[in-house]
Amino acid sequence: MKRREFLKNTVPAAAILPAVVDGYSVKAFDNNSPLLQALMNPTIDTDHVLVIVQLNGGNDGLNMVIPISTYSAYYNARSNVAIPQNRILPLTGYTQTGLHPAMTGLQALYNQNKLNIVQAVGYPSPNFSHFRATDIWMSGSSSDQVVNSGWAGRYLNTEYPNYPTGYPNTTMPDPLAIQIGSITSLAMQGPSMNMGMSITNPTSFYNLINNVLDPAPNNPMGYELTYVRTIASQTNQYAVRITGAANLVTQQSAYPTNNSLGDQLKIVARLVKGGLKTRIYMVSYGGFDTHSLQTDATDTTIGAHANLLKNVSDAIKAFVDDCQFLGIQDRVVGMTFSEFGRRIKSNSSVGTDHGAAAPMFLFGKQVIGGFTGTNPTIPASATVNDNIPMQYDFRSIYASLLEKWFCVPSSTIQTILFQNFQSLNVVNDASCRTTGVNDPNQSAGEQLITNYPNPFTESTSIKFKTRGGHTLVQVIDMLGRVIGTLTDKEYTPGTYSVTFDSGPLPTGVYYARLQNGPIQQVRAMLKVK
């Protein structure tokens, strides 16, 4: 859908504003308002949104997406937690695989062609530590690489290279990414700056859920604390935009109750519909570390994991339905991931231990429905060390979404993900196939550091703008190591150039980092053969 069409559908004409903008004066949103003008900016590029659903703890994919064609091997490996074959939810037109009985919502989405199930997603040499595996998924690194930025952060850094200098602005008045929760995760970390914003962030006024702020005590300490908090909330540069967007949406379709993932997704739908230009939303839902009592001891179709899966399924179904209700179904796709799956063989505590590859869900109307991949191979008599072998590298999913959903050119994807990954046909790429996508974000904000040529083979010239005073330009590799310092001295205000000679350094991504007083900005540079 084209941006302007979308706006016509979302933001009503001034005449009917009062009915929609609950409690807000018409004046605040008249045709001259920065909000409306920003929304009507005609040169905006894709209006696509990605919602990332993190399932913390390592989700047991084998009990979620169940191999019917190899059911006996499945059952033999984990008889104490295995779902009875007659309880597996069937999927229309696909008999070899079914879903956990609690996931009726996702079953319906599959049957509506709004769900793609990617089988056995992982990476070579899987890591079984929650922390390390989470960092690998968040950073988009290989298992033997330590990368201290996140894949989504690097994507946003290529899209909004000057952030945070000059942000927010009319082209991008909103947070680049929003995480529902208190803490912005590694996934949103760009090469230098965190590109995301948490909306239960303490500096945010807008505590929607999981409020960790303590009430201020009734004494002088509390009095001053309240003062500082008040200023903090007034100061948040995005506060007005977020409340404004949230308040534009007064009606949504039904969400399940007592379902924190549903609560979070409901907020996401509201903010998307309300007109935020935020690209990426991240929500999370924990408790998947099911070492023991994963299921009820007598009925494996109920219990802890079943409850989790039901909530995931209900929440996502409600969200997709709401997107349709709100008319944003062509703009939003989502994906689930967990840091790892669990072992094929169950343990004797009616649980499963840390494993490797697992299925991912991609959901939304623009997703290409169906299965990607086949049922995992399960040994006839699985041993405790057997893991599900990977069919797809998780970075192929990232790469495919970047390419087909965010229309990122393949050379840039290589900069973001450090290598080329397989492109999968999981999402409708029609909007990226139209020519002439004009991306104004590249020039939004003040660009202080650039390089040419990029990509480069041997050396590249780095141009930077300083406000004067001490100025530093260093080159950092993707692991965060300083490769070289190109300049480190006092300057008078102006634009200068330095040359980066890469010498024997391997091909790959390097970041030129500018530091000038309190300002920092990075530029991603790609060295190629």
Partner 1 sequence: MDRRQFLAAKRTNPAPAPPPEQSRTQSGLNPYSGPWTRNEVQHLLKRTLFGSTRADIAYFLGRTVDQAVNELLNPTAPLPSPPINDYSPATPDPAVAAGATWVNNPTNDGTLNSQRRNSFKKWWAGQMINQDRSIREKITLFWSDHFGTETTTINFSHYVYWHHAMLRQNCLGNFKQLIKSVTLDAGMLRYLNGYLNTASAPDENYARELQELFTLGKGPTVLYTEDDVRKAAKVLTGWRINNTTYAVFFDATRHDSTSKQFSSYYGGTTIAGQTGANGALETDDLINMLFAKDEVSKYICRCLYRWFVYYKIDAAAETNVIEPLAAIFRTNNFEIKPVLSALLKSEHFFDVLNQGCLIKSPVDNVVSSLREFGVVFPNTTTEYADAYGMWNYIRNWFTNMGQDIGDPPDVSGWPAYYQEPQFHEMWINSDTLPKRNQFTDIMITNGYTRNGKKIVINAVAFTQSLPNPSDPNLLLDDALAILYRVPISATAKQTIKEQILLSNQTQDYYWTNAWNAYIVNPADTASFNIVNTRLKSLYQYLMNLSEYQLS
Using the minimum distance from each CB to partner 1, give the nearer residue, 182 or 461.
Answer: 182
CB of 466 to partner 1, least distance (A): 14
Please name the amino acid found at residue 195.
M
Using the minimum distance from each CB to partner 1, give the nearer residue, 433 or 470.
Answer: 470
Tokens of 90: 């069937």
CB of 56 to partner 1, least distance (A): 4
Rounded Cα distance, 466 and 279, in Å: 30
Give the alpha-carbon dihedral of 154, 411, 364, 430, to 10 degrees: 150
Please name the amino acid found at residue 370.
G
User: Can you spell out the DSSP letters for 312-357?
Assistant: HHHHHHHHHHHHHHHT-TTTEEEEEEES--B-SS--TTS---B-S-
Using the minimum distance from each CB to partner 1, give the nearer residue, 8 or 132.
Answer: 132
CB of 139 to partner 1, least distance (A): 9
Rounded Cα distance, 256 and 308, in Å: 13
Q: Which residues bind partner 1 (CB under 8 A)?
A: 54, 56-57, 129-132, 134-135, 146, 148, 181-184, 186, 192, 201-203, 210, 212-214, 218-221, 223-225, 227-229, 231-232, 234-235, 237, 284, 286-287, 289, 470, 472, 474, 479, 485, 488-490, 513, 515, 517-518, 520
Using the minimum distance from each CB to partner 1, give the nearer residue, 237 or 457.
Answer: 237
Q: 459-466 and 449-452 as β-strands: parallel, antiparallel, unpaired?
A: antiparallel
CB of 380 to partner 1, least distance (A): 34
CB of 522 to partner 1, least distance (A): 10
CB of 511 to partner 1, least distance (A): 11
Rounded Cα distance, 419 and 411, in Å: 10
DSSP character at residue 41: -
Residue holding tokens 């602005």?
Answer: 169
Using the minimum distance from each CB to partner 1, give the nearer residue, 249 or 283.
Answer: 283
Q: Which residues contact 432 (CB under 8 A, 6 or more apart)?
A: 46, 403, 404, 405, 406, 407
Using the minimum distance from each CB to partner 1, give the nearer residue, 350 or 522.
Answer: 522
Tokens of 259: 């379902």
C-beta separation of 289 from 55 below 8 A: no
Taken in order 215, 218, 220, 221, is the CA torsion positive or negative? Answer: negative
CB of 259 to partner 1, least distance (A): 17
Whether residue 455 has a cis bond before it, omega within 30° of 0: yes
Using the minimum distance from each CB to partner 1, give the nearer residue, 148 or 497.
Answer: 148
What is the CA angle 172-176-180, rounded to 5? 135
CB of 283 to partner 1, least distance (A): 11
Using the minimum distance from each CB to partner 1, give the nearer residue, 292 or 381.
Answer: 292
C-beta separation of 312 from 359 below 8 A: no
The three state secondary structure string of 247-283 is HHCCCCCCCCCCCHHHHHHHHHHHHHHCCCCCCEEEE
DSSP character at residue 216: P
- First-to-last C-alpha distance (Å) of the chain: 38
CB of 203 to partner 1, least distance (A): 6
Q: Which residues contact 138 (CB under 8 A, 6 or more apart)?
A: 150, 151, 185, 186, 187
Residue holding tokens 């090469």?
Answer: 191
C-beta separation of 231 from 204 below 8 A: no
Whether residue 256 has a cis bond before it, omega within 30° of 0: no
CB of 173 to partner 1, least distance (A): 17
Using the minimum distance from each CB to partner 1, give the nearer residue, 372 or 471.
Answer: 471
Dump strand ranges (E) for 397-441: none
Using the minimum distance from each CB to partner 1, give the nearer residue, 14 or 221.
Answer: 221
CB of 520 to partner 1, least distance (A): 6
Using the minimum distance from each CB to partner 1, give the nearer residue, 109 or 335.
Answer: 335
Rounded Cα distance, 357 and 45, in Å: 35
Tokens of 248: 């534009």
CB of 375 to partner 1, least distance (A): 29
Using the minimum distance from each CB to partner 1, give the nearer residue, 179 or 366.
Answer: 179
